[in-house]
Structure 1
Amino acid sequence: MEHLKIRPIQKEDNPFVAEMIRAVLIENNAPKTGTAYEDENLDILYGTYQNEKSVYFVLTDGVKIYGSAGIGSLEGSNEICELQKMYFLQEVRGKGLGSEMIKSCLNFAEEVGYKKCYLETLPTMQAAQKLYKKSGFKYLDTRLGNTGHFSCTTWMLKEF
């Protein structure tokens, strides 16, 4: 586990990242509809994040993908980005790697000029929410944008 590093996604990572994300959602009894599970771009994340205002990172030991997260524009906004598809396998949770991943994502977001970062999560993902709060996110009363993730009913925002 000490050889894990965060790096930008590569095209050959696509199937492994999609498999990892779906496995984490199933493990958490998340609905398959209205979550990342059914996103059209889940199997082609590398291509989805190939623009100057987006990035997608993976946590890997060079062989296996253990986690991932990305930054993308919130639909309809130039100033608000979204922390997207942040998931980690059970075996690497609780080791501070989520904080490192969020820092990598938020540093990128600030560097490219975003003013705020939005996220959606499931109400049952309490450990994730604790991490988001520790990273400066605050709860919102309503969703922003139209992500299609109608099952994710916990919304948070961080201002830079």
Structure 2
Amino acid sequence: MSTATSVNILVRPITPEDNHAIADVIRQVSAEFGLTADKGYTVSDPNLDKLYQLYSQPKSAYWVIEFEGRIAGGGGIAPLAGADEGICELQKMYFLSILRGRGLAHELALKALDFARAQGFSHCYLETTATLTRAIALYERLGFAHIDGSMGNTGHVDCEVTMLKPLG
């Protein structure tokens, strides 16, 4: 099911053909915010180039956002690896600057949280970095609370901000 939020913007589930484009978006946004190896960040993610396959797993979903026919952002939800089966993780929320300030991150996060509830998850976890202040503010507005320490086995060694939201 796809959602048109304006004439030029489309939010839809990822397809295999989107893998390269969304990986490029994630790399570009990471570089824009200085989240690169030369700044001390771990940037090798073995799944980055195969997000469709990763999110085709049970209880997982990923949506891309097209702007004027081009992939310009995305985000997903999946079970939190190494944690209680009732906990999912909001993952890989990245948006090119052309999408920012339009409420699309909020819309996509709500879509992901609705999906998580429908899958029977009781809590949603996320990790991010302190430099992404606008993202943190969004997560706080959505009801995520800061927690002490990480949960599960995400492999995100550079993400010092950890948050959790009950889905009830």
How many percent identity over aligned positions?
A: 43
Please, what TM-score do these two structures have when normalized by structure 1? 0.94
Of 88, 92, 101, 1:85 maps to 92
Q: Deviations over 1:73-92 (max 9, x none)?
A: 10132100000000100111
Moved over 6 A (4+): none
Cα deviation, residue 5, structure 1: 1.6
Of 66, 70, 75, 1:64 maps to 70
Q: Which residue of 1 aligns with 2:141?
A: 134
Q: Deviations over 1:29-53 (max 9, x none)?
A: 0134765x42101000001111230
Task: Decide whether the 8 Å contact of 1:117 with 1:157 is kept in 2.
Answer: yes
> What root-mean-square deviation, in Å, do the aligned CA atoms of Structure 1 and Structure 2 show?
1.4
Q: Partners in 1 of 2:85 and 2:68 — Cα distance?
A: 34
Of 57-66 and 10-19, deviating more is 57-66
Q: Which residue of 2 aligns with 1:48?
A: 54
1:104 and 2:111 matched: yes
Q: What is the 5 A alignment of 1:147-158? A: 147-158=154-165
Letter in 2 for 1:24: V
Q: Partners in 1 of 2:78 and 2:26 — Cα distance?
A: 17
1:38 and 2:20 matched: no
Higher relative contact order (CA closer than 8 Å, sequence separation 6+): 1
Q: Partners in 2 of 1:110 and 1:139 — Cα distance?
A: 20
Q: Which residue of 1 aligns with 2:11?
A: 6
Gaps of 5+ in 1: none
Q: Partners in 1 of 2:67 and 2:28 — Cα distance?
A: 19
Please, what TM-score do these two structures have when normalized by structure 2? 0.90
Cα deviation, residue 63, structure 1: 2.1
Q: Partners in 2 of 1:126 and 1:20 — Cα distance?
A: 19
Task: Decide whether the 8 Å contact of 2:125 with 2:165 is kept in 1.
Answer: yes
Q: Partners in 2 of 1:31 and 1:148 — Cα distance?
A: 16
Letter in 2 for 1:30: L
Cα deviation, residue 62, structure 1: 6.2
